[in-house]
């Protein structure tokens, strides 16, 4: 009716009508009639036009129509801005085009709470609960891979979707990767936003204090765990505390912490102390078969210049047939992890790998020779 009374309808008027119809389910099919009229009259639709149409597609549950409009959107020369990208993602997720939704999500340079919500809701709605849970696990994956910048980005993007697991992943990740102060600052922010810590949180905090050598702060955190949050210390907490004190040379206090434990200390606890002093008797009673304990004690003897002790340990290990597993490293290539041991040729592509390494080594030698030659000439001149 409005168009009939307008001698020269404008794109603005068409957009307003499409917007109005898109918000009323019983009239949403009219949005596409209006879109056809826009094209027939030679108007060029703008981003607002497509945003309203994407919304209408969602209610009509038409994936094919949505893809057609997406194609028109791109052919019109538009780049998805925040609103268009969100509308597109929401549309694909709600009509069940989850692969297209995920592709769009992964390509987004900025992902906020609405985009995370849309993606997880779409996965859950169509029964892909594993996929939905995977999105809660993305943060932890980045942390474990050491990609702290990427983890920070995800942590900030999920905003109000953060749960205790999200906070713990970031606190522990920052602590493990040496960002001690940031881990403690994040803990303060977590408390300020009303999230209460659990035993995992305190493991991360004590790790941060250990990495940063913050003994006083560590003592305070260890005490507050019980006095402020009524969390009973576990072996992990005692182990972190003993390690913190031992590294700081507070050996007597570390031993007193072990003595005060409500449970029997295990090899991890004694191992933490053994790394700083020679209280090792209980450790060998607990795990005489563990080669790691012998290596730690051997290092202590060697550091003190007690080579007789080192020799005796090696003799005991040999007599008891205790062997230390060879050190190894992992390299990730594509989606596969490859394990390498020194002088190992068990890898199926070992010949190619060694050939490449030999080539790199020859290049290094040539580069060094050229540098030394130039240096010699410069010195003569």
Q: What is the secondary structure of 102-158 as a DSSP string?
A: HHHHHH-S---HHHHHHHHHHHHHTT-HHHHHHHHHHHHHHHHTT-HHHHHHHHHHH
CA dist 177 and 212 (Å) reads: 11
- Cα→Cα distances 68→30, 74, 366, Å: 17, 10, 58
Q: Residue 280 has what pLDDT?
A: 42
Q: Residue 285 has what pLDDT?
A: 52
Establish if 315 belongs to a structural domain. Answer: no
Q: Residue-wise pLDDT tens for the chain (381 aa)?
A: 455 555 677 888 888 888 888 777 777 778 888 888 888 888 888 788 888 888 787 776 777 787 888 888 888 777 767 777 777 878 887 777 777 877 877 777 666 666 776 776 776 666 666 665 566 767 777 787 778 887 887 788 777 767 888 898 899 989 988 899 999 999 999 999 999 999 999 999 999 999 999 999 999 999 999 999 999 999 889 989 998 988 887 877 887 888 898 888 877 777 677 766 554 444 555 456 677 667 766 765 665 567 887 788 788 777 776 666 666 676 777 667 777 776 677 777 778 877 877 787 787 777 766 655 554 555 555
Establish if 37 belongs to a structural domain. Answer: yes
Establish if 149 belongs to a structural domain. Answer: no
Neighbours of 297 (CB within 10 A): 20
CA dist 24 and 250 (Å) reads: 71
Q: Residue 93 has what pLDDT?
A: 79
Of 140, 145, 144, whose CA–CA distance to 155 is shortest? 140
328 by DSSP, 3-state: which? Answer: strand
Q: Which among 250, 268, 286 is the end of a domain?
A: 268
Establish if 17 belongs to a structural domain. Answer: yes
Query: Cβ(260)–Cβ(283) under 8 Å?
Result: no
Establish if 171 belongs to a structural domain. Answer: no
305: region left, alpha or beta (phi > 0 left; psi from -120 to 50 alpha) = left
Global confidence as pTM: 0.51
Q: Residue 36 has what pLDDT?
A: 83
Q: Which among 268, 289, 324 is the end of a domain?
A: 268
Establish if 203 belongs to a structural domain. Answer: yes
β-bridge mates for residue 332, sequence order:
337
Establish if 32 belongs to a structural domain. Answer: yes
Establish if 278 belongs to a structural domain. Answer: no
Residue 252, domain extent: 183-268
Of 210, 220, 296, whose CA–CA distance to 248 is shortest? 210
In this structure, the chain runs to a length of: 381
Of 160, 243, 153, 167, whose CA–CA distance to 200 is shortest? 167
Collect contacts of 195-201 with beta carbons under 8 A, ≥24 apart: 195/162, 195/163, 195/164, 195/167, 196/164, 196/229, 197/164, 197/225, 197/229, 197/231, 198/164, 198/168, 198/231, 199/225, 199/231, 199/234, 199/236, 199/237, 200/168, 200/172, 201/164, 201/167, 201/168, 201/171
Domains: count for the chain:
2
Q: Residue 376 has what pLDDT?
A: 55
Q: Which among 98, 130, 156 is the end of a domain?
A: 98
Q: Residue 237 has what pLDDT?
A: 92
């Amino acid at each position: 009716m409005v168009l009939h009374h307008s001698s020269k309808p404008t794109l603005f008027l068409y957009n307003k009508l499409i917007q109005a119809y898109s918000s009323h389910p019983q009239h949403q099919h009219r949005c596409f009639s209006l879109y056809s009229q826009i094209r027939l009259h030679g108007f060029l639709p703008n981003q607002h036009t497509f945003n309203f149409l994407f919304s209408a597609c969602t209610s009509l549950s038409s994936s094919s129509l949505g893809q057609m409009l997406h194609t028109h959107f791109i052919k019109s020369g538009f780049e998805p801005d925040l609103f268009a990208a969100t509308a597109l993602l929401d549309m694909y997720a709600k009509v069940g085009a989850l692969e297209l939704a995920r592709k769009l999500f992964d390509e987004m340079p900025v992902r906020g709470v609405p985009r995370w919500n849309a993606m997880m809701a779409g996965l859950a709605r169509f029964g892909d609960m594993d996929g939905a849970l995977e999105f809660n696990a993305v943060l932890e994956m980045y942390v474990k891979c050491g990609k702290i910048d990427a983890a920070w980005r995800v942590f900030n993007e999920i905003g109000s979707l953060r749960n205790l697991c999200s906070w713990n992943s970031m606190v522990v990740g920052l602590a493990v990767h040496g960002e001690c102060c940031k881990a403690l600052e994040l803990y303060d922010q977590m408390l300020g936003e009303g999230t209460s810590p659990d035993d995992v949180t305190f493991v991360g905090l004590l790790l941060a204090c250990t990495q940063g050598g913050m003994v006083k702060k560590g003592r305070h955190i260890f005490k507050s765990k019980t006095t402020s949050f009524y969390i009973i210390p576990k072996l992990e907490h005692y182990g972190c505390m003993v390690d913190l004190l031992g590294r700081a040379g507070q050996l007597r206090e570390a031993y007193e912490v072990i003595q005060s434990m409500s449970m029997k200390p295990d090899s991890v606890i004694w191992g933490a102390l053994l790394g700083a002093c020679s209280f090792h008797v209980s450790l060998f009673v607990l795990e005489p078969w563990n080669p790691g304990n012998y290596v730690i004690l051997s290092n202590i003897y060697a550091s003190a210049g007690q080579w007789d002790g080192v020799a005796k340990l090696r003799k005991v290990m040999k007599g008891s047939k205790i062997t230390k597993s060879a050190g190894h490293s992992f390299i990730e290539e594509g989606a596969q992890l490859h394990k390498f041991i020194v002088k190992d040729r068990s890898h199926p592509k070992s010949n190619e790998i060694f050939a490449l390494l030999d080539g790199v080594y020859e290049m290094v030698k040539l580069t060094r020779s050229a540098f030394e030659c130039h240096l010699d000439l410069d010195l003569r001149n």
